[in-house]
Amino acid sequence: MKTRNLILFFILVYITLSIPITAAEVTVATTDWKPYSGRDLPDYGFTSEIVTKAFARGGYTAQFSFMPWKRARRETEAGRIDVLSPAYFSAERTRIYAVSEPYSSSTVVFCTKKDKIITYNKLADLKPYKIGVVTGYLNSPEFDRADYLQKDPAPADLPNLKKLLKGRVDIIVIDKFAAIDLLTNNPDLKATADDIAFLDPPVAVHPIHILISKNAPEFAQKLEAFNRGLKEIIEDGTVEKIIKKHGLSVDK
């Protein structure tokens, strides 16, 4: 009997060891926001690769779904998708999401055509101008509250930039590197980065985070795993290598 039990024990051990151990899955809603993220970029862009590697260190496999920003927010707010990325912090968002440690940053600027001379010191100086904005984007609290400005909404950065180039708006609000990327990779715009100008001072410099829906299962555990993995890949130089691999400056 002892021999039989011993054989059964070793059989169970063999079966257990033969079963592949797979990481838990975390779903991520993202959008085309190049050079940060893009469905046709290597590894879906440098921010997506950082998120993937950080979650992997924490024991999760990240599965990305690309969709318009408004839908991405709706799906994550409801908890149908775990994570929204890349995203800015706001106090309002903390009611719905758990916010990770930052893993990159974004410089948001006012952009105009180079042949249009516009200067400003304070937001009120921009009252005479029509300003293109993207629906649902956070820019800065002061600008977003400035109802006295003429704001013209667009669904995404590319149509917003097209409106600027066609003269339908005087200024747009856009991430600086996203604007350069759009002009570099969209020849149909018939314009280059030399045709635009960025106004000083910038609208804001935003740290970039992932946001984990508080309606998602085990959201606190997923947040802890991501932050732990992110700390590891920052300390061992993985993040720096990812940024350089994507042809960007570490200081970006």
> Cβ neighbours of residue 28 under 8 Å, at least 6 residues apart?
48, 51, 62, 63, 64, 65, 81, 82, 83, 84, 85, 210
Task: Please state at what angle helix 238-245 crosses helix 46-57, rounded to 10 degrees.
Answer: 150
Measure the CA–CA gap between 227 and 240, rounded to whole angstroms. Answer: 17
Helix (H) or strand (E) holding 38: none
pLDDT of residue 10: 44
Measure the CA–CA gap between 142 and 124, rounded to whole angstroms. Answer: 11
Q: Residue 239's closest CA among 252, 230, 248, 228?
A: 230
Average pLDDT in the 68-86 region? 96
The DSSP string of 73-121 is HHHHHTTSSSEEEEE---TGGGGTEEEPPP-EEEEEEEEEETTS----S
Residue 207 and residue 126 in contact, taking contact as beta carbons nearer than 8 Å:
no
Residue 203 φ then ψ, to 5°: -65, -45
pLDDT > 90? residue 249 = no
Task: Please state at what angle helix 157-165 crosses helix 176-185, rounded to 10 degrees.
Answer: 70
Q: What is the pTM of this model?
A: 0.75
Tokens of 249: 């400056």
Domains of the chain and CATH, by start: 18-104+208-245 (3.40.190.10), 106-205 (3.40.190.10)
The per-residue pLDDT of the chain, averaged, comes to 90
* Strand-pair partners of 99: 211
Measure the CA–CA gap between 61 and 193, rounded to whole angstroms. Answer: 37
Q: What confidence tens digit (pLDDT) does each residue in 99-155 have?
A: 999 999 999 999 999 999 999 999 999 999 999 999 989 999 999 999 999 999 999
Q: What confidence tens digit (pLDDT) does each residue in 143-191 have?
A: 999 999 999 999 999 999 999 999 999 999 999 999 999 999 999 999 9
